[in-house]
Structure 1
Amino acid sequence: MDVRRITINIAGRTYPLNVPAAEEETLRKVGKQIESMIKDFEASFDVRDKQDALAMCALKLGTNAEVFALNNEKNINASNERVQQMNKLLEELEK
């Protein structure tokens, strides 16, 4: 496995990381998104320090992840129901 050493800057701090090469682009992209979110929160709200902005980022990202997971679960359930309906139809056609 190809591992790369990268540095991500978040909220004025530098984080050196050893990451699989396949994940490097994703981590850099997420780091930039977090930085952008911090700037947006600082501009839109009375954010006193970076800790508050980071907490708001964590809450937003966690909420987004939970909504995504719930939507995936609904899609999987709907797909399973469709497959079951198709199986029933196929069984009826076989009779």
Structure 2
Amino acid sequence: MGEISIKINIADRVYPLRVDIEEEEVIRHAAKLINEKIKELQDNYAVRDKQDLLSMCVLQYATGMIKAERNAQQHEEGLEERIHELDNVLTEFFKK
């Protein structure tokens, strides 16, 4: 569609961005989740440095993303295997 200018606050810093209109909600939600995770880490650990909190936050999100990608890949491989099995069954059925 079109681009808009927005300001996103992450860890008490404002970042001006130009984003597609349809991405605005996702970006704002992501910033909210990041700030909530930073607050949670700050409350649970004796870390006050924003850079350390951001690094810990990124590590947690990256770990979650890698796990989700691996899980999706495993499901995809399992689905591919089932499709081959079904193809073999159908091929045998139609040969008769």
Cα distance in 2, alignment partners of residues 27 and 40 from structure 1? 20
Normalized against structure 2, the TM-score is what? 0.96
Cα distance in 1, alignment partners of residues 15 and 48 from structure 2? 23
Aligned to 2:40: 40
User: What are structure 2's unaligned runs of at least 5 residues?
Assistant: none
Aligned to 1:54: 54
Aligned to 1:63: 63
Normalized against structure 1, the TM-score is what? 0.97
What is the root-mean-square deviation in Å for CA atoms of aligned residues?
0.6
Aligned length: 95
Cα distance in 2, alignment partners of residues 47 and 86 from structure 1? 54
Kindly provide the amino acid, as one letter, of the partner of residue 53 in structure 1.
L
Q: Report whether the alignment pairs 1:91 with 2:91.
A: yes
Deviations along 1:6-29, one digit per CA (max 9) or x if unpaired, are 110001100000001111000000
Kindly provide the amino acid, as one letter, of the partner of residue 68 in structure 2.
F
Moved over 2 A (4+): none
